[in-house]
Structure 1
Amino acid sequence: MVARNNGQPGATTAGDPYVPTHGNGGYHVESYELDLDYRVNSNRLTGRATITAVATQALSRISFDLSGLRVSKVSVNGRRAQRYTHRSGKLHISANITDGAEFTVDIQYGGSPKPEDSPWGELGWEELTEGVIVASQPSGAATWFPCNDHPGDKAHYRIAVTTDSPYQVVANGRLVSRRVKASRTTWVFDQAAPMATYLATVQIGRYDAIELAASPVTTRAVLPAALVRNAKVDLGRQQDMMKLFCRLFGPYPFGAYTVVVTDDPLEIPLEAQGISVFGSNHLDGRRGSERLVAHELAHQWFGNSLTPASWQYIWLNEGFACYAEWLWSEASGGLTATQQVSKAHARLKGLPQDLLLSDPGPELMFDDRLYKRGAITLHVLRQHLGDDAFFELLRTWTKSHRHGSVTTHEFIALAVSFSPDEGAVRHLFALWLDSTELPAFRSGRFRLRP
């Protein structure tokens, strides 16, 4: 992450214009160690965050995002901080850190966590009827731990959660230990692959765990017992999706994949690193939400392993995941991707022409038109390159930027290298990304090879 600091020591913003109140300059986080104690009945969270970072400039002040919770103690490099302030969602700590130095900040905090209001709805730590869901995209991580809440600052995570024993806990990464003491259980997870703050999550509920597949990727579902029967139908083809996406996009980027289904209905499902979360309403026993199952799985490549360096590049998440829905439809005997594109294009023509895919702005970054237009852009590129070159491009894209931060410019530069006609590819992207007017689409007939 390149942090803009306007030449001021201890700059407090990373400068993402879409979420200007979140993110902090002057350092890069290497790791978060989070020790959380949560009481479900009283919604009481006690936390300790140990953050190891490297300064990218000399710092007289270190800033983190933390909202709705109260800080009780702060230490920097093992010494208690004498001066810090915490207001308006920002924790500012006086310090003396030299450029390039590694430093560790230990923060103890607590309170009753709640989601934060945002232009995109309530985000972050939220109580369910019985348990917790954490949905942070794009700016809700600060509701449950102090962080540098910027998509371009990815770090290693260790998350320990202690809660009442009847409850199952799911967090990012590998479960490394589970200890029961009296009526409480401590769950410890390690996420070795670099992860953005918005993809960090904790899910708590009265859940059962079932294995869905052992290959090509260990896949399980964690859900209420009453939903297991439906899950075996609605998630029954997920292993086939995984095989398809591994073939088209490259190897699955994480060690395992977990689907959490809450007992509560959710308006939309959500992805976290190595995890997808669905509501009870998404399991109807008839595969009624199967396109969403494909969408969330595809985010493990596009969004989680390859994360946008700035929210401006959100189409690299959502356009790709939407196109994965259409690829699954094509491969599983539904509408071909070309038919899906024709259908979506006809609908887009009747909607306002005010979306700039390359820079949609915060108001439109989650607009359905961005998802569909991004997917159509990929299909047009596929038509231009042909299947062999197009899918080799996607596999090269996911391999060369694995666990990294990406930009639209990088994707265009790579796409150009797969075509003998650089001008045509650049013109294609200019039409679809840099103009608000929807270009015409010329349908072609082709289908994925088995």
Structure 2
Amino acid sequence: MTGSDTKGGTAARRTSTGQGAVAAVSVQQTAGPDPYFPANGDPRYRVHRYELALDYRPGPNRLSGTARLNAIAGRSPLTEFQLNLADFRIGRVRVDGKAPHYTHRGGRLRIRPAKPVRAGAAFTVEVHWSGNPKPVNSPWGGLGWEELEDGALVASQPVGAPSWYPCNDRPADKASYQISVTTPSAYSVVAGGRLLTRTTKASTTTWVYEQAAPTSSYLVGLSIGKYQTVLLGDPGLGGVPQTGHLPAHLLLEFSRDFARQPAMMELFEDLFGPYPFGEYAVVVTEEELDVPVEAQGLSLFGANHVDGARGSERLIAHELAHQWFGNSVSITDWRHIWLNEGFAKYAEWLWSERSGGRTAQQLAALAHRKLSAQPQDLVLSDPGRKLMFDDRLYERGGLVLHALRHAMGDDAFFRMLRGWATLHRGGAVNTAVFTSHVARYAAEPLDDLFTAWLHEPALPPLPTLDARVPARPTYPPTNADSA
């Protein structure tokens, strides 16, 4: 999710988001509930696969679905567990084929199996639900499923996923997904992942997508609309398949605004390692959105982000960078959101620097001046729920990486960055894991730097240029050491 001049968080509100195995070194679960959202998620089990079959009618905004979850119990027997699901009518619930006792109140589907699930055992959950989907309430407005004037989209960060499907809604609980959506044939369905089949029967079409890479629930993206599909770049040359889905009347502007996305992809693969998923899609809705939204393998933009003058190019870079930082390398809980947004912010600066715009040093100086004039009450490593989407978190997160780059020098810094994205591909991490990772590449201890930038509210001084970080650097080769 982009920050800076998109103050106010994550909801995409109308104004008229090789597939890798889970990295063994990553932190996969936290010991208890997310401290910012204790009502979301259940750490007593984890899901390794969701299979969702949805039927959506845009006119009456009617959604019905079946979800099959393949899950594994934790270290203790499961006498009960919960899923998060908004206010839908529940048709049926099954655990390993048997009817459990369940209650559904306040966005929580509490399930008590007929027989407790043994510790460490695999089990399946099946849920049938229907109703009129709508965003769930949050401090940042409505999140999740949003009905548009002609279609729908999903923008779930951080807790909007239960607005449209039952899930263990915690970022560290990552699973593969198969999503089947049936909708009137006049509409296209775009989801993150590979399109397996598209089957038309009478007046409806069923679209089936597979996302094999581990995916957090809030990063499951979906858009339903009347779109024209275009290719970006040339995947026949060995690049990542990239597609755009947009209203036909925006094609000319889109072609200019997104023309450099393939070059961004090439640069980010050089700097961060191979693109972590099988494909990348961008969707432009007919309507305006407050902010673009990243999902796994997919980013959503509003018509207001397409102007034919590359006015939102930094946002294109920001959302693409999230595929590495935030999506592939996820966070264990929301205290560590700077690891998503600070990295994507710094990727904006790296793209500007590499493409002939302002250098990272110039952009860092601008961000530092802006932060200097604002209250010094944000602790980056634990900002609190109220400030987790504050513009200052994005800017200060970018400045942390810039400070590290100056302290380490370009060679070690970029090897560290590539190693971070590679070693933790498909996993979930936290701030302590990051600082330990940096120590492997740094020539000297950086404890004071981390204390000042991450754990204290006062803004440290801006790093100045030195010989190790030239004003417009030469970037490392694609085979830079990643370990």
The alignment status of 1:203 with 2:223, answered yes or no, reads yes
The alignment status of 1:340 with 2:367, answered yes or no, reads no
Distance 1:418 1:80 in 2: 53
The alignment status of 1:36 with 2:54, answered yes or no, reads yes
Q: Secondary structure at 2:90's aligned position in 1?
A: strand
Distance 1:163 1:395 in 2: 41
Q: Secondary structure at 2:307's aligned position in 1?
A: coil
Q: 1:416·1:426 contact (CA, 8 Å) conserved in 2?
A: no
Deviation per residue, 1:305-359 (Å, 9 max, x gap):
0011110110000000000000011011111000000111011000000000010
Q: Secondary structure at 2:387's aligned position in 1?
A: coil
CA offset at residue 117 of structure 1?
Answer: 1.0
Runs (5+) with no aligned partner, structure 2: 1-27, 476-483
CA offset at residue 232 of structure 1?
Answer: 0.5
1:243 pairs, out of 266, 269, 275, with 266
**Correspondence for 2:177:** 157
2:461 pairs, out of 437, 440, 444, with 440
Q: 1:38·1:161 contact (CA, 8 Å) conserved in 2?
A: yes
Q: Secondary structure at 2:386's aligned position in 1?
A: coil
| 1:129-140 mapped onto 2 (5 Å cutoff) | 129-140=149-160
| 1:56-205 mapped onto 2 (5 Å cutoff) | 56=74, 57-81=76-100, 83-95=101-113, 96-205=116-225
**Correspondence for 2:291:** 268
Deviation per residue, 1:385-438 (Å, 9 max, x gap):
11111111011111110010011111111111111212xx11111110011000
Q: 2:192·2:281 contact (CA, 8 Å) conserved in 1?
A: no
Relative to 1, partners in 2 of residues 1:3 and 1:317: Cα closer, same or farther, differing over 3 Å? closer
Q: 2:257·2:307 contact (CA, 8 Å) conserved in 1?
A: yes
CA offset at residue 228 of structure 1?
Answer: 0.9
Distance 2:338 2:111 in 1: 35
Q: 2:406·2:463 contact (CA, 8 Å) conserved in 1?
A: no
**Correspondence for 1:297:** 320
1:426 pairs, out of 447, 450, 460, with 447
Distance 1:311 1:100 in 2: 26
| 1:365-384 mapped onto 2 (5 Å cutoff) | 365-384=388-407
Distance 1:121 1:326 in 2: 29
CA offset at residue 62 of structure 1?
Answer: 2.2
Q: 1:3·1:26 contact (CA, 8 Å) conserved in 2?
A: no
Q: Secondary structure at 1:442's aligned position in 2?
A: coil
Task: Percent identity, please.
Answer: 52
**Correspondence for 1:54:** 72
Q: 1:132·1:204 contact (CA, 8 Å) conserved in 2?
A: yes
Query: Quick check: 413-422 or 271-280, which moved more?
Result: 413-422
**Correspondence for 2:21:** none
Deviation per residue, 1:61-119 (Å, 9 max, x gap):
121000121211011111223x2110111111111111011000110001000001101
Distance 1:119 1:22 in 2: 15
Q: 1:68·1:114 contact (CA, 8 Å) conserved in 2?
A: no
Distance 1:173 1:349 in 2: 41
Distance 2:276 2:206 in 1: 27
Please tell me the residue identity of whatever aligns with 1:88.
G
Q: 1:69·1:112 contact (CA, 8 Å) conserved in 2?
A: yes
Please tell me the residue identity of whatever aligns with 1:63.
Q
CA offset at residue 17 of structure 1?
Answer: 1.1
Please tell me the residue identity of whatever aligns with 2:456.
S
Q: TM-score scaled to structure 2, two decimals?
A: 0.89
Distance 1:174 1:224 in 2: 21
Distance 2:471 2:414 in 1: 14
**Equivalences, count:** 438
Please tell me the residue identity of whatever aligns with 1:47.
G
Deviating beyond 6 angstroms after TM superposition, the runs of 4 or more aligned structure 1 residues are: none
Please tell me the residue identity of whatever aligns with 2:266.
K
Q: 2:329·2:428 contact (CA, 8 Å) conserved in 1?
A: yes
Q: 1:48·1:109 contact (CA, 8 Å) conserved in 2?
A: yes
Please tell me the residue identity of whatever aligns with 1:76.
V
Q: 1:71·1:108 contact (CA, 8 Å) conserved in 2?
A: yes
The alignment status of 1:2 with 2:22, answered yes or no, reads no
CA offset at residue 3 of structure 1?
Answer: 5.3
Distance 1:279 1:237 in 2: 18
Q: 1:250·1:399 contact (CA, 8 Å) conserved in 2?
A: yes
CA offset at residue 242 of structure 1?
Answer: 0.6
Distance 1:315 1:93 in 2: 34
Q: TM-score scaled to structure 1, two decimals?
A: 0.96
Q: Secondary structure at 2:145's aligned position in 1?
A: strand
Distance 1:251 1:73 in 2: 42
Distance 2:29 2:292 in 1: 31
Distance 2:192 2:268 in 1: 21
Q: 2:30·2:333 contact (CA, 8 Å) conserved in 1?
A: no
Distance 1:307 1:288 in 2: 29
Q: Kindly indicate whether structure 1 or structure 2 has the higher relative contact order, using CA contacts under 8 Å at least 6 residues apart.
A: 2
